[in-house]
Structure formats: structure tokens, C-alpha cells
Chain A
Amino acid sequence: MIAFLTKRLMHAILVMLVISVIAFAIQDNLGDPIQQMVGQSVPESEREALRERLGLNDPFHVQYLRFAGNAIQGDFGYSYFYREPALDVIARHLPATLELVFGATLIIVLLSVPIGVYSAIKPRSPLSRFFMGASIVGISVPVFLTAIVLIQIFAIGMKVTLFPESTAWGSWLNATLSTEGGMPSFGRGQDLVHVVGYWDSNLFSAGGLQHLVLPSIALASIMLPLFIRLIRAEMLEVLQSEYVKFARAKGISSWRIYFVHALKNTMLPVITVGGVQIGTMVAYTILTETVFQWPGMGLMFLDAINRADIPLIVAYLMIVGVIFVVTNTIVDLIYGLVNPTVKLTGKPA
């Protein structure tokens, strides 16, 4: 276990080193900080003196070590736009993103397990076929398009006139398919509850929750099909195994077999994939937050790109790197703990 732990930690540190070198190379190559700091009239000799004083003429590795040293202490420099430490800006935007990811994860867990299990138990039923068909459609719809459709249907409202109004069924269909709209689709709203520090929450008020609904559904929509298919495939495999047959022969009720015996082993690979996918969701938060103008890290990152706010871009990359590495490492550890058959110390396959 110890050997496995150290190996994972070494791997994590290596990844962070690679990320920090890339982030530093970006910072080093983008723009000239002297130009940002001094006016037009400053002569070249003074610029050169300032450059020397700030250590910008030092060789790459010296500058990198200085950058890495500061980064470990949480100092990523000042954001050009917000004029405050980059880490503070990120800390202010982090809760919004985390709440969005939390909402999406909740939807995914609550829906994917029952649907996945059902379509494994009854693989031939029409409902299962519908779920499988819907899931491949779901995979094919990009997350920003789901978000736009949600806005059109639930925020703006939609008046359907496709069916003939003169017939009874036509006007009924038109009326049923038309929507009022009115769901909030812009930002986090006013009803935020201050919890602690930078954390203003959407989770503890009706208005706040309403603002969270559409973005969470949009973010969940991209992962949900994947999880349904994964749970179904794993469950199908587990249901073929000897111990399930034995449990059945013993006369245990099928409900108990499905949800107590089989589901446990189904969830193993789901944990690994799930952990990695929650990290992956960070990428999709950029798209979701852009559509809903959700003031989280993703929207902040995109704004930083458009404003060429380099310290903020670099800080975002480092923080996201940490999130990825930490989730991946934790997932590996949990998997090793939960599944004793996994080779903890062996060579990588």
C-alpha cells in the first residue's frame, strides 16, 4: 500500500511539474510585462534597468524556479484586469463552479443508477431500448446546444403552431408542446446566501436553486448518457456471473440480488470512470458557464483569455491541474482500497 501510495504521489508531482513548466512557458512568451507597467515615454535604458531589477533577464530555469517557488506559496501575481492577487480572483469564482458541478453530479447519480440498472435487468423492454437510443442521441448533442435548447424551451418559451389548430388533437398538441418560459437563465441571481468567506451559495434559497436548475441540467446532459451506458454494461456482465446465479439458486429475492449483491460490483468501474469524469466536467463548465453567463471559473477563464490577463490564465491552469491530479489520485486510491484484487505495487499494465 505504501509503495503504491508513493508511486501515485510521485506521478502526481511529475504531472504538476509538467503543468507548471507549460504554464510558465506561456507566461514567459506572452506579452512583455514591462510594457504593461510603464508608460510610452520611459526611455529604453530605464526599461532595461527595470527588466534587470525584476529579474526578467535571468535564464529560463532561474526564472522558472522563482515562479514555482511563488506558486507553491499561492502567489501567482496580480491579475491585470481585477488588480488583485490572481488566486483571490479564482477563489471568488470557485464556489459558483463547484455548486454547478455539485448540481450536475446530483442529477447524474440520481438518474443514471436507476436507469442503468433497469435497462440491464430488462434489456429487451421497449423502455430500455428507448433509454439506449436516447443516450446515443444525448452523446451526439454538444453541451452548449443542450443549454441553448433548454433556454429556448424553459426560459424564453416556445409557441408551437406546427399542428393544424382547427382539429381538436392539433390544438391540444400545440397547447401541450408550447411552453411558458420564465425560468431564469442568466447568472446566479440575487438570492444568494452568504455562507463563509468567498462562498455565496445558490443552494439555500428558492430563487437561488431556480437559477441553478437549467445550468445543472445542461452540464449533466453530457455525462448522463455515458454513465447510463457504463452502468448498464457493467451490470449486464455482473448478472452473468456465478455468484449471482448462486444467489438466485439460494432463493434470494431478485430485488435484493439486483440492488444489494450485483450493484456493489457494478459500482467499482463506475467509481473510477466517474471520478475521472468529474474532473473532465471542468472543461464542460467553460461551455455551460458561457451560455448561462454563470460567474464561475470557466467564464472567468474565457474572459481572461479575451483580455489577455496572463497571470489569471496561468493561475487557472495551475488550479485546474491541481483539481485533476487530486481527483485522479484519490480515485486510484479508492479503487485500490475498494477492490483488493487490483495489483497495488505491480508494474503498470
Chain B
Amino acid sequence: MTTQVSTTTRWARFRDSYLLYSFKRTWSAQLCLAIFLCLVLAAFMAPWLAPTNPYDLRQIDILDSELPPFWIEGAVEHYTLGTDAQGRDLLSIILYGTRVSLVIGFGAVILQAILGVTFGLLAGYLGGRVDAILMRLADIQLSFSTLMVAIVVGAVVKATLGSSFYSQYAVLMLILIIGLAEWPQYARTVRASVLAEKSKEYVDAARVMGLGSRRIMFRHVLPNTLSPVFVISTVQIANAIISEAALSFLGLGMPETHPSLGSLIKSGFDYIQSGSWWITLIPGAVLVVLVLVINLLGDWLRDVMNPRLYKG
């Protein structure tokens, strides 16, 4: 019975919020969200939308390889965006590849957020030695860029487990690697807000009431630190998608049989000298559009949620 009441008030709060007000007035944010949703929908409906199934070897003919997209002479009508070097339909494989990239991007960000929020909360609330150790660790990891950490961890994991095992569980591995590489961003953000929240009276009140520190941390402090977490999450998703593409491009990511956008760009790059630019540049364009709309949405969100910041 109470849930009914709380959901309606939440909806009302959202309806009256500055967030929605600003969204209705910012056409660029609307456009970006529309493009982003289209890409996500298309990617996750790939099995129904794609003309062929690129994972099904029976539907691939090597004789169809390196066919150009429709506006170039020599195109075959059946393959709208042409084919790659193995004769797979480029449109289908881009749809499937976008799905892989999105799954890894979101998965990695969820892992980062869980790790980072927990560590940030512990560091900020408990302070002392826990704070010193966790933040020193975060400092060290951040001073090596996150991409560097991801590359090194990926390389070592791949060398330890062997490449066939690695490519079999590539999605999981990439989520783990990127998640582990980028948690300090969240930890720092959350720690900063926790330090500000900790001295407020409601925390003292909760403590006086005799609540345990775990309950105060997760039920009282955490909800008040979440808005900066949402703001950096958008940028982090874009970063994770780029990191995944970079790892795949270096051969430390998705295998060619199960490609993401990054491994499509990599496999196409081998054929760019022979004039088949579309194999690498069309997936590249999709990647850029995807990351760009997420970044633009992140910019807008940051301006709305934190109006004191510069529109840098």
C-alpha cells in the first residue's frame, strides 16, 4: 500500500524536476537521447533486425567478401553496407557488434560503480587507515592512465590463461578488466561527497539513535551521494566503450568470430590498403556516434545537476 503512494510521488517529483524541465528545452539533449535509444534498440533487436546472422557460418560465403556499400559501383543489392573480408554482411555484424560493445560498456560501468561506491563509502565514512590505503591505491592507479592499467591487466590475464580460454570468456574478461581499471573515478567522487555528508546532523542523529555504521553508510549517507555518481556514469560508459574498442583493436579483446565494434575496426584495418575502407570506417563511424551522443548527454547532465560548474 505504501509503495503505491511512494511511486506516484516519485513520478510527480520527476515530472516537476528541473531535470525534465531542462530536457524539454534542450533540443540537442533530446536529439542525443533519441539517437542513443535508437542505437541501443537496434543493437538489442539485432537478431530480428539484421538481414543475416553473422555467427551462423552457413550464411557466410567467402566469395562475397569485400563487397562495397550500396552507393559505390560493384555493390550487391542484398548487402546494404557491403561485406567484410570474410563475406559477412556488414550491417548485420555492426548491429551484433554494437550489442557486444554496449553489453561490455554497461557491464564494466556497473562493476566499476559497485567497487568504486563501496570503496569510496568505506574510505570516506571510516577514514583513518582504510581511507589512506584505499585512496593511495586509487592515486597509484589513476597516475597510470586507466587505459594503461586495462592494457597491462588484459595482457597479463591473456598470457596467463592462454588465448583460446581468454577469447571464449572475452565478454566477461573485458568487463572485469575495464571494471577493475576504472573504479578509482567512482571512489574519489563518492568519498568527496561522503566527507561533506558525514558532518551533517542527520548522520549524528542516526548515530545517536544507535544505528550501526553499515546501516548509516548504505541507507542514510549513500542515497545523498548518488547524484554526482549518475553524472560521471554517463562519461564512464563512453570511456568504457572506448576502452573496450581499444583493447579489441590491440587484439586483447573480442575475437573476430564474435566481434565488437573495436575488433571490426581492427579486422578492417588489415584491408584498408587494398581500398576496402568501409570495413573499418563504417563501424568506426558507428562507434564515434555512440560515444559522442553519450558524451553530449553527459555534458548536459553535468550542467543541469551542477550548475555551478563551468560549461568547459
Question: How far, in Å, is A135 (CB) from chain B's closest CB?
Answer: 10
What bracket does the count of chain A residues touching chain B fall in?
35 or more
**Complex: how many Å from CA A156 to CA B296?**
32
B292 touches A140 (CB 8 A): yes
Q: Per-residue 0/1 for A219-254: is the Cβ within 8 Å of any B Cβ (1 yes, 0 no)?
A: 000000000011011001100000000000000000
Contact among B140, B145, B160, B246 for A144, CB-based, below 8 A: B246
**Which residues of B sit under 8 angstroms from A320, Cβ to Cβ?**
144, 148
Q: Chain B residues near A306: list those with CB within 8 A.
A: 251
Smallest CB gap from B136: residue in A: A14
User: Could you tell me if B281 and A140 are in contact, using CB atoms closer than 8 angstroms?
Assistant: no
Tell me the nearest residue of chain A to B247, going by C-beta.
A287
Q: Are the CB atoms of B140 and A15 closer together than 8 Å? A: yes
Q: For residue A18, which residues in chain B have a CB less than 8 angstroms away from its CB?
A: 140
Cα A51 to Cα B160 with chains together (Å): 21
Chain B 244-264 near chain A by CB (<8 Å), digits 1 or 0: 011001111000000000000
Interface residue? A95 (CB, 8 A): no
B residues less than 8 Å from A113 (CB atoms): none
Question: Would you give the shortest CB distance from A235 to chain B, in whole angstroms?
Answer: 11
Write out the residue numbers on chain A whose beta carbons fall within 8 Å of the beta carbon of B155: 305, 313
List B residues 148-166 near A (Cβ within 8 Å): 148, 151-152, 155-156, 158-160
Is A282's beta carbon under 8 Å from chain B?
Answer: yes
Q: How far is the CA of A291 from the CA of B249 in the complex (A)?
A: 9
Interface positions, chain B 117-153, Cβ under 8 Å from A, are: 136, 140, 143-145, 147-148, 151-152
Q: A287-B250, A290-B249 are in contact. Are A233 and B281 (CB under 8 A)?
A: no
Q: Which residue of B lies closest to A277 (CB)?
A: B145
B145, A283: Cβ atoms under 8 Å? yes
A29-B160, A233-B310, A282-B148 known; A144 and B265 CB under 8 Å? yes
Cβ of B242 within 8 Å of any chain A Cβ, yes or no, is yes
Interface membership of B291, Cβ < 8 A: yes
List residues of chain A with CB within 8 A of the CB of B280.
148
A118 on the B face (CB < 8 A): no
A151 to B277: give the CA distance in the assembly, Å.
Answer: 10
Within 8 A of B (CB), among A310-349: 310, 313, 317, 320-321, 324-325, 328
Cross-interface CB contact of A230 among B144, B159, B312, cutoff 8 Å: B312
Contact of A145 among B158, B250, B265 (CB under 8 A): B265
Asked whether any CB of chain A lies closer than 8 Å to the CB of B303, the reply is no
CB–CB B265/A148 < 8 A: yes
Count B interface residues, CB 8 Å. 41
Residues A276 and B143 in contact, CB atoms below 8 Å apart: yes
Closest A residue by C-beta to B144: A324
Question: Cβ of B151 and Cβ of A151 under 8 Å apart?
Answer: no
Q: How far is the CB of B260 from chain A (nearest CB, A)?
A: 13
What is the bound-complex CA distance between A322 and B310, given in angstroms?
35
Is A30 interfacial (CB-CB < 8 Å)?
yes
Segment 149-198 of A: residues with Cβ below 8 Å from B: 149, 151-152, 156, 162
A133 to chain B, nearest CB (A): 10
A286 touching B288, Cβ below 8 Å: no
A5 interface residue (CB < 8 Å to B): no
A236-B310, A287-B246, A313-B155 in contact; A140/B295 too (CB < 8 A)? yes
| B272 engages A15 (CB within 8 Å) | no
Please determine whether A152 and B159 come into contact, CB atoms closer than 8 angstroms: no
| Residues of B with C-beta under 8 A to A236 | 310
Residue ID in chain B nearest A231 by CB atoms: B312
Cβ of B287 within 8 Å of any chain A Cβ, yes or no, is yes
Residue in B159, B242, B265, B284 whose CB lies within 8 Å of A305: B159
Whole-angstrom CA separation of A39 from B252 in the bound complex: 31
User: Is B159 a contact of A30 with CB atoms below 8 Å?
Assistant: yes
User: Are A283 and B281 in touch, CB under 8 angstroms?
Assistant: no
What is the CA–CA distance of A29 and B136 in the complex, to the nearest angstrom?
Answer: 26
Question: Are A280 and B310 also in contact (CB < 8 A) when A290-B250, A305-B158 are?
Answer: no
Task: Flag whether A13 is at the interface (Cβ < 8 A).
Answer: no
Please name all residues of chain A whose beta carbon is closer than 8 Å to the beta carbon of B159 when the two chains form the complex: 30, 305, 308, 310, 313
Q: Is A26 an interface residue (CB 8 A)?
A: yes
Decide if B64 is an interface residue (CB 8 Å cutoff): no
C-alpha gap A308/B162 in the complex (Å): 10
Shortest C-beta distance, A182 to chain B (Å), equals 13
Contact partner of A283 (CB less than 8 A), chosen from B148, B277, B295, is B148
CA distance A310 to B156 in the complex (A): 10
As a 0/1 sequence over residues 215 to 238 of chain B, the CB contacts with chain A under 8 angstroms (1 = contact) are 000000000000000000000001
Q: Which of B252, B272, B312 contacts A156 (CB 8 A)?
A: B272
| B290 → chain A closest CB, angstroms | 9
List the 3 closest pairs (A to B, CB-CB), nearest first: A283-B148, A280-B145, A233-B312
For the complex with contacts A136-B295, A145-B287, 16 further pairs of A-B residues with Cβ separation under 8 Å are: A30-B156, A136-B292, A141-B288, A142-B287, A144-B249, A145-B265, A145-B284, A148-B280, A148-B281, A232-B312, A276-B143, A282-B145, A283-B147, A284-B147, A317-B152, A320-B144
Interface residues of A (CB under 8 A from B): 14-15, 18, 26, 29-30, 136-137, 139-145, 148-149, 151-152, 156, 162, 229-230, 232-233, 236-237, 276, 279-280, 282-284, 286-287, 290-291, 302, 305-306, 308, 310, 313, 317, 320-321, 324-325, 328
Can you pick out 16 interface pairs between chain A and chain B where the beta carbons lie within 8 Å of each other? A15-B143, A30-B159, A136-B292, A136-B295, A140-B288, A142-B287, A142-B291, A144-B265, A148-B265, A233-B310, A290-B249, A305-B155, A306-B251, A313-B159, A320-B148, A321-B144
Q: Which residues of B contact A (CB under 8 A)?
A: 71, 136, 140, 143-145, 147-148, 151-152, 155-156, 158-160, 238, 242, 245-246, 249-252, 265, 269, 272-273, 275, 277, 280-281, 284, 287-288, 291-292, 295-296, 299, 310, 312
